[in-house]
């Protein structure tokens, strides 16, 4: 019996770094292990060669694209006409089409072709509305109306990664009867507790006596690194042993770096740039608390789950699906855009022993956010259409 072929449409994929890319990869490789044949259809912005390639046995096919907004941290890609054949071949050869993200023209084209060739369509929506400000907010709302609503309407099944995301797609007219929440997961083998925090700090070159506050974010407006820096300025005055670490790169890197020098926080706030997936667990295990200072647009951030899998308490702003994961048992939710509240929460954790909750935090993730359970439900959804 031939394996069931799933055409997975995502505007970006590995080696490009991002949340959707990681979700598609984690689900894709488990589908492969379980006898399915995932085929990734993505833009040539995902790979510097612009050609088809393989990632851990998963076939990836690229279509030509125009990059729009990438320099502003808005990765919106528009398929070029010569990419149509790639779409056509991948979708015709598949049994099911699984689209990631409602607002993309690539999603719209995939959905239209899937309907033409009678292929079942599953849509996963990851984010809520992203606030960029001014004209960009208007453009996003217009795109939701012209593209997003049509993708939602044509999909046979809509998966959302949080209740907040569910409410977002329902506000755009999605049919509640064909929509369900399926929370993201985390690789529990890769992200786990370590008993050697001091040794890890020594390896990474971090002070053993500092209270380390970690975030892992792309340096773009919506992710709130500027807010974290403002909060650090307040908190460090009361606790000079605080060390804020920012893992990630992005268009705002230089802007944030200049602010660090302006605030004279060179010894307390470090931009570490890109860190490979292989080494990322070390940074979680070297830290005392994780912070997610996002301004908008979050569905269910994978980095929260990764941090919790390593036993870290999480301080997160009240954005998207974060309050569905973080409560007093594993961290703190603080108001959005409130640097004083964020600083206060950091200081409260620095005056306690966060490690005392590490084991329970890990257990919460094991119980609720396992990729294997996520993919088991995903397969049940697929098989409902076969």
CA angle in degrees (0–180, nearest 5) for 370-373-377: 140
- Considering Cα of 48, then 63, then 152, then 71, what sign does the dihedral take? positive
Instruction: Specify the pTM.
Output: 0.94
**CB 108: neighbour CB atoms within 10 A?**
19
Provide the H-helix boundaries in 197-252.
Answer: 197-204, 225-238
CA angle in degrees (0–180, nearest 5) for 246-16-80: 140
Domain boundaries, the chain: 5-185+370-383, 197-368
386 residues of the chain, pLDDT tens digit each: 789 999 999 999 999 888 999 999 999 999 999 999 999 999 998 876 768 999 999 999 999 998 887 776 777 888 999 999 999 999 999 999 999 999 999 999 999 999 999 999 999 999 999 888 888 889 899 999 999 999 999 999 999 999 999 999 999 999 999 999 999 999 999 999 987 899 999 999 999 999 999 999 999 888 999 999 999 999 999 999 999 999 999 889 999 999 999 999 999 999 999 999 889 999 999 999 999 999 998 999 999 999 999 999 999 999 999 999 999 999 999 999 999 999 999 999 999 988 889 999 999 999 999 999 999 999 999 999 98
Q: Which residues share a beta bridge with 56?
A: none
The β-bridge relationship of strands 5-9 and 121-125 is unpaired
What burial letters (b/e) apply to 243-272, b meaning 16+ CB within 10 Å? Answer: bbbbbbbbebbeebeebbeeeebeebbbbe
The β-bridge relationship of strands 269-273 and 242-247 is parallel
Whether residue 256 contacts residue 368, with contact meaning beta carbons closer than 8 Å, is answered with no
- Statement: 5-185+370-383 belongs to CATH 3.40.630.10: no
**Level-2 CATH architecture, domain 197-368:** 3-Layer(aba) Sandwich (3.40)
Q: 5-185+370-383 with 197-368: one CATH topology?
A: yes
SS3 per-residue string spanning 244-259: EEEEECCCCHHHHHHH
Q: Which residues share a beta bridge with 77?
A: 67
Q: Which of 325, 301, 304, 281 is nearest to 193 (CA)?
A: 281
């Amino acid at each position: 019996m031939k394996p069931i072929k799933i055409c997975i449409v995502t505007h970006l994929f590995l080696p490009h770094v991002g949340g959707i890319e990681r979700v598609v990869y984690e689900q894709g490789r488990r589908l492969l292990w379980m006898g399915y044949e995932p085929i990734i259809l993505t833009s040539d912005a995902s790979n510097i060669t612009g050609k088809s390639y393989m990632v851990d046995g998963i076939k990836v096919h690229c279509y030509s694209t125009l990059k729009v907004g990438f320099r502003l941290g808005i990765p919106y890609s528009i398929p070029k006409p010569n990419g149509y054949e790639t779409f056509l071949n991948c979708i015709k050869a598949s049994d099911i089409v699984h689209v990631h993200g409602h607002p993309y023209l690539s999603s719209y084209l995939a959905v239209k072709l899937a309907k033409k060739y009678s292929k079942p369509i599953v849509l996963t929506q990851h984010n809520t509305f992203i606030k960029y400000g001014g004209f960009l907010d208007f453009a996003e709302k217009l795109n939701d109306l012209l593209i997003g609503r049509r993708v939602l309407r044509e999909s046979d099944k809509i998966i959302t990664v949080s209740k907040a995301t569910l409410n977002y797609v329902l506000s755009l007219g999605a049919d509640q009867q064909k929509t369900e929440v399926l929370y993201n997961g985390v690789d529990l083998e890769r992200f786990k507790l370590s008993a050697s925090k001091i040794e890890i700090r020594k390896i990474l070159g971090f002070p053993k006596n500092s209270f380390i506050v970690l975030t892992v974010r792309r340096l773009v407006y919506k992710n709130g690194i500027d807010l974290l820096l403002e909060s650090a300025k307040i908190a460090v005055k009361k606790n000079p042993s605080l060390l804020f670490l920012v893992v990630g790169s992005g268009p705002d890197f230089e802007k944030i770096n200049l602010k660090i020098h302006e605030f004279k926080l060179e010894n307390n706030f470090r931009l570490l740039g890109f860190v490979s997936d292989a080494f990322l667990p070390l940074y979680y295990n070297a830290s005392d608390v994780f912070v997610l200072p996002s301004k908008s647009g979050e569905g269910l951030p994978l980095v929260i789950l990764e941090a919790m899998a390593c036993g870290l308490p999480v301080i997160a702003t009240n954005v998207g699906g974060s309050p569905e994961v973080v409560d007093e048992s594993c961290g703190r939710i603080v108001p959005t855009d409130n640097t004083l509240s964020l600083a206060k929460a950091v200081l409260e954790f620095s005056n306690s022993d966060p490690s005392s909750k590490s084991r329970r935090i890990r257990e919460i993730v094991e119980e609720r956010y396992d990729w294997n359970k996520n993919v088991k439900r995903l397969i049940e959804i697929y098989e409902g259409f076969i």
